[in-house]
Amino acid sequence: QPGRGEPVPPRAGPRKAPRRKVLRERFLTWLPLALVLLGVAVLLYPVMATQHNNDEQQRLATMYTASVNAAGPEAIAAERASAETYNNNLESAPILDPWLELQRPDTPQYQAYLHEMDIDPVMARIVIPSVHVSLPVYHGTDSRTLAEGVGHLFGTSLPIGGPSTHAVLTGHTGLPTATMFDNLSQVKKGDAFYISSLGQTLKYEITDITVVKPDETDSLRKVPGRDLVTLITCTPYGVNSHRLLVTGERVPMDPTAAAAEEAKALPASMQTWMKAIIAVVVIIMTIVTGILVRLWWMRRRRSPRGAGGRTAKDSASTARTVEPPDPGDGVPLQADQQRRRRTGG
């Protein structure tokens, strides 16, 4: 024991155990909520990433026109003349499936192809109003290109239009973070799509929709006198064993009506799977909110202040308050004081 006058050391921590218990209870209470929020974030990531990428691709496609116009009429005319010469000299070589990546980019022919329509990294823009598609078109069909937009298939006509031309444009279906050509299977014969290239917009009306095997590419060849564009994507969704070919033939165009049609493609519509995920998230958050409100209400009812309006501390304080004796309670105050002196109290 400490001697007289020495400070009494503080008593060691039996109070730490209750605090540790409270922290543990709080952790176990909030852990499920944190896991639910983490799951919601995981569910929403593909939706947010897809919307972001769709918006970015539409922005690049829209900026292409401004970039070409900034090059000036002389540069545009020179590029168009070069592209027309390229199409006229294009040999009728076998056309390979774009997803096989059998084209060799190190050949002189491929390098010369990359220098055509190169005012901007984007070589053209494709708009399909009926399925809200507005995408940039790039040279080639390698995996990196198809992750950023639509690819032009090397060996086919450049997308500038003209008799006896057949351009082939390729886009992915089923990318986890971009829509691309996911909705191409929903187009119908008679629908229109538009291609903007080198300061000119061309209108094509869909005349044929077919599904073929990857090695069936004869329908992609040029047809004398016809101005054709074929859009290709993989099918069925998630299986990708076949190719969906959507072919359009150029038709006369009213510029005013075309501008109104192209405007319908913006913004990109949300996919069914995106709407389903958002609906699931809304349901989950509604349930979680209901649980939290119920827990708050139950805790409030259990607390002394919530039940009776007074806390235990208030009750203890009241109990410690001693009222002075009432002179009128039948015992004279003076006699009571004398009795206390005699008894030593």
pLDDT, averaged across the chain: 82
- Which segments of 26-149 are extended strands (E)? 124-128, 133-139
- What value does the CA radius of gyration of the chain take, rounded to a whole number of Å? 39
Q: Give the residue among 40, 57, 279 at the shortest CA–CA distance from 175.
A: 57
User: What confidence tier does 222 reach under pLDDT thresholds 50, 70, 90?
Assistant: very high
Give residue 9's pLDDT.
Answer: 61
What tokens does 51 get?
Answer: 């919307």
Residues 6+ apart with CB under 8 A from 186: 130, 131
Lowest mean pLDDT among 44-48, 198-202, 314-318: 314-318
Residue % of the chain over a pLDDT of 70:
77
Q: Where are the domains of the chain?
A: 44-277
pLDDT score of 187 more than 80 = yes
Whether the pLDDT of residue 25 is over 90: the answer is no
| pLDDT above 90: residue 235 | yes
CB 235 within 8 A of CB 185: yes
- pLDDT of res. 11: 60
Note the Cα 13 to chain centre separation in Å. Answer: 52
pLDDT class of 261 with cuts at 50, 70, 90: confident
Tell me the pLDDT band of 204, cut-offs 50, 70 and 90: very high
pLDDT at 111: 92
3, pLDDT greater than 60:
no
**pLDDT score of 60:** 84
pLDDT band (50, 70, 90) for residue 24 = confident
What does the DSSP assignment read for 198-247? TTEEEEEEEEEEEEE-TT--GGGS--TT-EEEEEEEEESTTT--EEEEEE
Q: What 8-state DSSP symbol labels residue 157?
A: -
pLDDT value for 273: 67
End-to-end CA distance of the chain, in Å? 32
- CA-wise closest residue to 47 among 183, 177, 148: 177
Where would I find the beta strands (DSSP E) of 242-321? 242-250
Over residues 122-139, the pLDDT tens digits come to 999 999 999 989 999 999
What whole-number distance in Å separates Cα of residue 171 and Cα of residue 181? 5
Average pLDDT score over residue span 182-202 = 94
Could you tell me the pTM of the whole model?
A: 0.69
Conformational region of residue 327, where left means phi above 0, alpha means psi within -120 to 50, and beta covers everything else? alpha
44-277 belongs to which homologous superfamily? Sortase (2.40.260.10)
**What is the average per-residue pLDDT within 168-182?**
90
Residue 17 has pLDDT above 80, yes or no: no
Q: Which amino acid is at 78?
A: A
Res 7: pLDDT: 62
- 301-324 per-position pLDDT tens digit: 876 655 455 555 555 555 455 555
Angstrom distance (rounded) from CA 281 to CA 216 = 43
Structure confidence at residue 57 (pLDDT): 80
Residue 121 has pLDDT above 90, yes or no: yes
* Residue bearing tokens 């918006």: 55
